[in-house]
Amino acid sequence: MATIDSKIPEGPLAEKWSNYKAHQKLVNPANKRKLDIIVVGSGLAGASAAATLGDLGFKVKCFCIQDSPRRAHSIAAQGGINAAKNYQNDGDSVYRLFYDTIKGGDYRSREANVYRLAEVSNNIIDQCVAQGVPFAREYGGTLANRSFGGAQVSRTFYARGQTGQQLLLGAYSALSYQVQQGNVELFTRCEMLDLVMIKDEEGKERARGIIYRDLVTGEIKRCSAHAVVIGTGGYGNTYFLSTNAMGSNGSAAMQCYRKGAWFANPAFAQIHPTCIPVHGDKQSKLTLMSESLRNDGRIWVPKKLEDAKKLQKGEISPNDIPDEDRDFYLERRYPAFGNLVPRDVASRAAKERCDKGFGVNNTGLAVFLDFKYAIQRLGKKAVADKYGNLFDMYEEITDVNPYENPMMIFPAIHYTMGGIWVDYELQTSIPGLFAIGECNFSDHGANRLGASALMQGLADGYFVLPYTIQNYLSDQIQVPRFSTDLPEFDAAEKAVKDKIAKIMGINGKRSVDSIHKELGHIMWEYVGMGRTEESLKTALKKLDEVEKTFWSDLRVPGDAQTLNVELEKALRLLDFIEIGKLMAYDGLNREESCGGHFREEHQTPEGEALRHDDKFSYVACWNYQGEGKAPELLKEPLNYEYIKVQTRNYKN
């Protein structure tokens, strides 16, 4: 069994990152120009990394499946970005942000990585303000903050309900400047289809390039580099319906997994509590309503079952139910945090109420998020100033005015904490391959706190990878640039072309979307908010059947040698099926409940997650064993030296 070296530096927790930077190897400016780096992905993590590496003098090739990095899914982030600035003087600190993140992740993340994230968070705000990101400000001009789930301080910086868009425009500006300077070459509408590995003089395989497809022409092409960085986001679309953009996928990560990169904690998927409920079987995605709404919105269902039944039948409206007959169940169950409990806690609480029959829409799968009380307290204008664009979006989708009626919300798949395993340097188990942002596993444990995704993406891209990748590249300066005519590139390209030809040759009757929907139903039903040993074993059997259906009855129209969106989706669907199996294997192995992974056999009498730290305080790393074979489990122990591991408590 492989031994896992996470390369955590020595020394006290608060000094590890400083010590690392003080003693790491560097690459001088003249040598940086000799080194090529591929960055796959151009969202917040990818764009910030490509821009920063280009600014340092490396020659960067950045790949983007959209027609512009501005269309990356990072643009959809609404609520904000965390940082331990303590501008509110409310008791925040780097340590408190670190502790809240570890606790929010249910003690399933690496101490050193999380402390570094909290430590560099303040630099991110300074960087973005310097770029001109229009963060909200107080009347006197100082930067404003609001609260998010899992914290009792206000540390979230925001730009109304479009923080991701503004941060991405800042990163895009920096990236565009480096493109203009000639340090970054941007490949738009190009999708990575395989990782190329080449043995060095000592026989060690290193990541040296990629095979990619030009999505406009259909041409299969090659690109070489001294190191490869993937920043391609998460795999939430395995469930078909999620808050992710339809183009979001886990394919680059899976290509790396099949080449030997370990996949860590795949079962840790986040279900966001405030999404617009499913309203039919023709939907292609779900819409997130920002967690920031839980600052001023109050979540409730009727206390009386008969009121819930009347709501479900449309016989009464929510405004007909008096305050004394409303169950503000989060405030009742978790008085210390109220509506701002972490996402996994809020989602399970909503599911519990709906399972008991207290759901409020015609499907019984919704709860109310009510701003009546905030409008009474603050006035309609103040609420509109904070949340106006979110209210407008809700009304456009549902035709319900949230200033006059409560919003309806229900949990939905949103983010994936699992991902490619990385060490402290963000390097995977493959030398020369790095993973940043949501596509790695490193910082959020079993549950991510709100407003921490943007923080991690920009921390990795702007302030961590530009240091750590030099430690790897410092001994690569004598390695010449690679020709893409090498046999390793030939073999990888042939494998890709053979796979595409096989898919195009199936000529069945089922569309990609119909099979993907079937996959999504299986995942939500058997690997969703509540999981059991029986459901996970059933999922594995059904996923095998879905894979057989794919290879026997899929139909991809058109030609592979041109623009073909159905072929793009088919290639991604094949990876989603394998990700689904990985999630089921991981969930089956982890016989405990923690964060977003809730095994129904393992819960407290109050229905809370029940961890088993004596058995499962480790990172589950899955090692690919070949097509049709179960993956091998490797374990990285989680050792907590600086905090006390205890049961999460959001009640007092």
Tokens of 625: 């064993």
Give the CB-side neighbour count of residue 401, counting CA atoms within 13 A: 5
Residue 345 vs residues 337, 523, 581: alpha-carbon distances, Å: 11, 20, 25
Tokens of 310: 């009347």
Q: CA torsion angle for 586, 589, 593, 598 (degrees, to 10)?
A: 50
Answer for the pair 431, 205: CB distance below 8 angstroms, yes or no. Answer: yes
Helix, strand and coil percent figures for the chain, each rounded to 5: 40, 15, 40
* Biggest distance spanned by C-alpha atoms of the chain: 76
Q: Tell me which residue of 303, 333, 220, 57 sits closest to 564, measured CA to CA.
A: 220
Phi-psi domain of 270 (left: phi exceeds 0; alpha: psi -120 through 50; beta: other):
beta
Residue whose token pair is 């010449």: 480
Answer for the pair 583, 523: CB distance below 8 angstroms, yes or no. Answer: yes
Answer for the pair 102, 445: CB distance below 8 angstroms, yes or no. Answer: yes
Give the number of other CB atoms < 10 A from CB of residue 477: 14
- Find the angle CA(126)-CA(460)-CA(74) to the nearest 5 degrees: 80
How far is it, in rounded angstroms, from Cα 566 to Cα 116? 41
Residues that are catalytic: 343
- Give the type of residue at 305: L
Answer for the pair 425, 471: CB distance below 8 angstroms, yes or no. Answer: yes
Q: Tell me which residue of 426, 423, 431 sits closest to 197, measured CA to CA.
A: 431
Residue 221, H or E segment: strand 220-224
How is the beta sheet containing 433-435 ordered, strand by strand?
184-188, 59-64, 36-40, 227-230, 433-435
How far is it, in rounded angstroms, from Cα 57 to Cα 75? 27
- Find the angle CA(622)-CA(3)-CA(423) to the nearest 5 degrees: 70
What residue spans of 399-482 are helical by DSSP H? 453-458, 465-473
CB-based burial of residue 180 (10 Å sphere; 0-12 exposed, 13-18 middle, 19+ buried)? exposed
Give the number of other CB atoms < 10 A from CB of residue 390: 21
Residue 378, H or E segment: helix 372-378
Residue 545 vs residues 7, 311, 549, 553, 572: alpha-carbon distances, Å: 41, 39, 6, 12, 17
Answer for the pair 640, 109: CB distance below 8 angstroms, yes or no. Answer: no
Rg of the chain taking only CA atoms, in angstroms: 24
How far is it, in rounded angstroms, from Cα 113 to Cα 51? 23
